[in-house]
């Protein structure tokens, strides 16, 4: 496999996403990781380390992510504008 082709693929020859898709991919990854971590901490605080931890954690994570991802898609442009208003332009 050539170096150029390797740079254009993610894994196993799957092509990288177009640049425009970063507006959805970044919030997808961010919301996935954030809700995964927060739901894990919340689940442990409520039930502790039990046999049902993974099952309860995953169900609470899915519900959290289903809310967080669309909310993040909606508020991210507002947060970017707010951030830009607080940053000095050079």
C-alpha of 24 from chain center: 10
pTM assigned to the model: 0.74
Q: What is the pLDDT of residue 30?
A: 92
How do residues 19-67 score in pLDDT, each as one tens digit? Answer: 898 889 999 999 999 999 999 999 999 999 999 999 999 999 999 999 9
Q: How far apart are CA 19 and CA 76, in angstroms?
A: 17
Contact 29, 3 (CB under 8 A): no
Q: What is the pLDDT of residue 4?
A: 54
Longest dimension (CA), the chain: 55
């Amino acid at each position: 496999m050539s170096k150029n082709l390797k740079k254009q693929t993610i894994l196993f020859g799957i092509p990288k996403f177009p640049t425009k898709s970063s507006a959805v991919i970044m919030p997808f990854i961010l919301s996935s990781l954030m809700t995964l971590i927060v739901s894990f901490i919340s689940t442990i605080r409520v039930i502790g380390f039990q046999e049902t931890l993974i099952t309860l954690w995953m169900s609470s994570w899915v519900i959290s992510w289903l809310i967080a991802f669309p909310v993040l898609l909606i508020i991210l442009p507002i947060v970017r504008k707010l951030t830009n208003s607080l940053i000095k332009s050079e």
